Amino acid sequence: MTCCLRRLGLAAFLGLIATTSPLIGLRAAVAETETVAEAEVDTASNSTTIEGDELTEGQPETETDHDFENFEDFEVVPFGQDLPADVNEPDTSDIPHSPEPPTPPTPVVDPVPPVDPTPAPTFQRKVETRIQLDLSDRRLSLYADDELVGSYTVAVGKPGWETPTGDYSVMHMAIDPIWENPWTGELIYPGPTNPMGRAVIVFHTVGDDMIAFHGTPDEGLLGQAVSHGCVRMRNEDILVMYDIVRRGTRVSVVP
């Protein structure tokens, strides 16, 4: 019985070998392939590898999954809650900032001196003016404080209508007067044909007639005795004298 079992076991073992021989061959091939791969790995580990610009001997490169390296160091926090201050606020240290304009200096203002509520009185002295007419020279002289300020050639009254001599004073003054013809009553308004010219300064009256200094549209007759008693002057000269004299200015007419 024991012998039969031994024989059966041997036969079964032999049959199993025969049946699994292809599988054993495959395993042997795989083992041989793994042996060759290990040999290549050993060869590669003993060879020199180039990494970047340096040479490394005998150090096989280790592959590391950087996406999951030290993943356990991170903590999942709900968005916007308990975040560090440097996460909630962006870092603006690298952003260039325009310099702030300089603050202008505050001007120094001197204290205002006290003002006297009662100003000091001022006195304006009136200029003393006077007019002197020389009939023989047909010349008028204008004085201010006895200082000669103007001398003008004039026309005086013709024979029978002589300009009266004596001391007088300015009575009336007017710019661009209207002249009434004493014979016809015609009115001559201001303009280039007005016999009174640009201004009139009355210094004497004879009845209804007035004796005055006045301008003239006919300056070619100056220096002569051609008027009816008035004193004719250039328009520009009578305007100058009009700005200097005033009512009450003394007038002296000498032969």
228, 161 in Cβ contact below 8 A? yes
229, 161 in Cβ contact below 8 A? yes
129, 142 in Cβ contact below 8 A? yes
| DSSP letter assigned to residue 74 | -
pLDDT at 31: 52
**DSSP 3-state assignment of 11?**
helix
CA distance 82 to 70: 22
Residue whose token pair is 């002197």: 132
Residues 6 or more apart whose Cβ sits within 8 Å of residue 137: none
CA distance 9 to 117: 147
If pLDDT is split at 50, 70 and 90, which confidence band does 183 have? confident
CA distance 64 to 67: 9
pLDDT at 223: 96
Residue whose token pair is 């024989």: 7
137, 255 in Cβ contact below 8 A? no
CA distance 140 to 149: 11
pLDDT at 191: 92
pLDDT at 56: 42
The candidate with the shortest Cα–Cα distance to 133, out of 225, 246, 247, is 225
Q: What is the mean pLDDT of residues 123-151?
A: 91
If pLDDT is split at 50, 70 and 90, which confidence band does 54 have? very low
| DSSP letter assigned to residue 66 | G
45 phi/psi in degrees, rounded to 5: -70, -30
pLDDT at 20: 45
Give the number of other CB atoms < 10 A from CB of residue 141: 16
Q: What is the mean pLDDT of residues 103-108?
A: 70
pLDDT at 71: 45
- Give the pLDDT confidence of 76-94 residue by residue, as tens digits: 555 555 555 555 555 666 6
Residues 6 or more apart whose Cβ sits within 8 Å of residue 129: 142, 143, 144, 244, 245, 246, 249, 250
- Which is higher by pLDDT, 119 or 136? 136
Has residue 32 got a pLDDT over 50?
yes
Beta-sheet pairing, 231-232 with 129-134: unpaired
Lowest mean pLDDT among 10-24, 121-135, 193-207: 10-24
CA distance 251 to 131: 5
Q: Tokens at residue 238, please?
A: 């009578």
Q: What is the mean pLDDT of residues 2-16?
A: 44
